[in-house]
Structure 1
Amino acid sequence: MSYGRAPRRRFTLLAAPAAAAALALTLTACGGDGNKAGGGGNTNFVTGSGGISTVDKGDRKPAPKLDGETLEGKQLDVADYKGKVVVLNMWGSWCGPCRLEAQYFTRVAKETKDKGVQFVGINTRDPKKGPAISFEKDYGVPYPSLYDPTGKLMLRFPKGTLRPQAIPSTVVLDRDGKIAARSLTALDSDKLHKMIDPLIAEK
Structure 2
Amino acid sequence: MAVPAVAGAALLLTACGSGGASGGSNSTNFVAGDAGVSTVKKADRRDGPKLDGETLEGGQLDVADFKGKVVVLNVWGSWCPPCRAEAPGFQKVSQDLKADAEFVGINTRDSSKGPAVEFEKNFGVTYPSLYDPMGKLMLRFPKGTLNPQSIPSTLVLDREGRVAARALTPLSEENLRKMIAPVLAEK
Give the TM interval when normalised to the shorter protein: over 0.9
SS of aligned partner of 1:195? helix
Q: Cα deviation per residue 1:139-191 (whole Å; 9 max; x = unaligned)?
A: 00010000000000000001221000000000110000000000001001111
**Larger of the two Rg values belongs to structure:** 1
- Measure, in 1, the Cα distance between the counterparts of 2:153 and 2:13: 10
1:96-175 aligned within 5 A: 96-114=81-99, 116-175=100-159
Unaligned runs of 5+ in 2: none
What residue identity is the alignment partner of 1:67? D
What residue identity is the alignment partner of 1:59? D
Partner of 2:71: 86
- Measure, in 1, the Cα distance between the counterparts of 2:12 and 2:80: 16
The 8 Å contact of residues 24 and 30 in structure 2, kept in 1 or not, is answered as no
Q: TM-score, normalised by structure 1?
A: 0.86
The 8 Å contact of residues 21 and 152 in structure 1, kept in 2 or not, is answered as no
The 8 Å contact of residues 27 and 167 in structure 1, kept in 2 or not, is answered as no
- Measure, in 1, the Cα distance between the counterparts of 2:57 and 2:101: 21
Q: Cα deviation per residue 1:7-63 (whole Å; 9 max; x = unaligned)?
A: xxxxxxxxxx9x7343342552111247x2259760000001321000000000000
List, as ranges, runs of 4+ consecutive aligned residues in structure 1 with deviation greater than 6 Å: none
Aligned-residue identity in percent = 66
Partner of 2:59: 74
Q: TM-score, normalised by structure 2?
A: 0.93
- Measure, in 2, the Cα distance between the counterparts of 1:189 and 1:95: 18
CA RMSD of aligned residues (A): 1.8
Unaligned runs of 5+ in 1: 1-16
Alignment size in residue pairs = 184
The 8 Å contact of residues 24 and 31 in structure 2, kept in 1 or not, is answered as no
